[in-house]
Copies of this chain bind each other. A is one copy, B any other.
């Protein structure tokens, strides 16, 4: 017998993985949560059937969401993570001794519980003493927290289901208010390749750009996400991720990373022409 997990990247494109075990399935108040085990990717977590994290390539996503802003402003002390229930984003943050406080707001406790049980690779640092977990709606959480965080990382699902509100103008506006004057926002910014993803990519970029004086996107190779071409948004009140980037200051942290380095920090902001044009024109 063969057991295959499939995700439809579009109506006409399917990505399938041969699995050895279906380790967990559950329906939370928000979504369906599954964990599988495979030879190629190790264990992997899906939400409503969509790939979130695999043991093989989670390092790429978590390196790029965390180290790009940290290397832009190495003085970040207080961080808010919205979503990110698998814990990988928090794990990377805890590697900086200079970070004093990490708030993680995950709406779905089941994602955290399941990650603690099956994905120690990502969840291992959720009990770091600097981390506080809130099982709340991130949209509500960021309201009325003026001038509180140096960095907000939006580690969200796609803009359907529980993640939808994390792609609204109002939410980005509240993030702006919740950030200090030195604040940086990094948000999951979808993909430029398939039309449905590209439309959300453009909308998210435009909304962020309306609110923040500095707003860019950067790209990375994420093989288990649709097309493998994924983006984060980088927005800030003060810091430009290239002009204000000081590679040697980040090197002083002495962190060993598997994807991120101070070259790719710069290279990831150098986008293909079609991606730049989509963002500028607002159409795909």
Where the two chains meet, the residues of A that have a C-beta atom closer than 8 Å to any C-beta of B are: 4, 6, 10-18, 38-40, 57, 60, 193-194, 219, 221, 223, 227-229, 257-261, 263-264, 266-274, 276
Contacts and interface: CB of A to CB of B under 8 A. Distances in A.
A221 B223 contact: no
B14 A4 contact: yes
Prevailing SS type, chain A contact patch: mixed
A69 to B, nearest CB: 18
A219 B276 CA distance: 18
The 6 closest A-B CB pairs, nearest first, are: A228-B228, A267-B270, A267-B267, A12-B18, A223-B227, A221-B229
A260 B18 CA distance: 35
A13 B14 CA distance: 11
B223 A228 contact: yes
A18 B15 CA distance: 12
Contacts of A38: 12
Contacts of A276: 261
A264 B57 CA distance: 24
Contacts of A259: 272-274
Given A12-B18, A221-B228, A223-B193, A266 B273 contact: no
A272 B268 CA distance: 10
A10 B259 CA distance: 22
23 contacts: A12-B17, A12-B39, A13-B18, A14-B14, A14-B15, A14-B16, A14-B17, A15-B15, A40-B194, A60-B272, A221-B227, A221-B229, A223-B228, A259-B272, A259-B273, A260-B273, A261-B276, A263-B271, A264-B272, A266-B270, A267-B268, A267-B270, A268-B270
A225 to B, nearest CB: 9
A216 to B, nearest CB: 12
